[in-house]
Amino acid sequence: LPGVVAFTIFWFMIVWLAVMEGGQGALVGLQPVDKDLYAQSHRRAFRNTKLAHEGDNMERFIVGRQFLVVLVVFVMNIMASATEDASVMNLSEGVTEIFLSSGVALILAA
């Protein structure tokens, strides 16, 4: 893939991952809250939590979300992996090997 495409997909995946994590946090955090408190002021949140908190939907959501997180992180890893023989700021081969080939640079960036 061209670098611009990989860069765009990588950042789209980061944003998508943040939305998934925030959505789960909101759904889990709103479980003990009385839905009548936000039924009129936040109608979309009310509809979402009403559906998610029915029966065992929350557990299903969390399991499905975990599979999606694994896929997103896998794609992010592919999009952000270094090209062969990459050189960054004329650093020595040892430093480049440690940071690029091992994936440490990606861990620090993501």
Tell me, what's the pLDDT at 52? 95
Q: How many residues does the chain have?
A: 110
Per-residue pLDDT, averaged over 78-103, amounts to 77
What is the pTM assigned to this prediction?
0.75
13 within some domain: yes
100 within some domain: no
96 within some domain: no
Q: What is the 3-state secondary structure (H, E, C) of 20-60?
A: HHHHHHHHHHCCCCCHHHCCCCCHHHHHHHHHHCCCCHHHH
For the chain, the domain total comes to 1
Tell me, what's the pLDDT at 1? 81
Identity of the residue numbered 35 = K
**pLDDT tens figures, 28-53:** 999 999 999 999 999 999 999 999 99
29 within some domain: yes
How many other C-beta atoms can be found within 10 angstroms of the C-beta atom of residue 60? 11
- HSE-up of 48 (CA within 13 Å, CB side)? 12
| Residue 26 lies in domain | 3-82
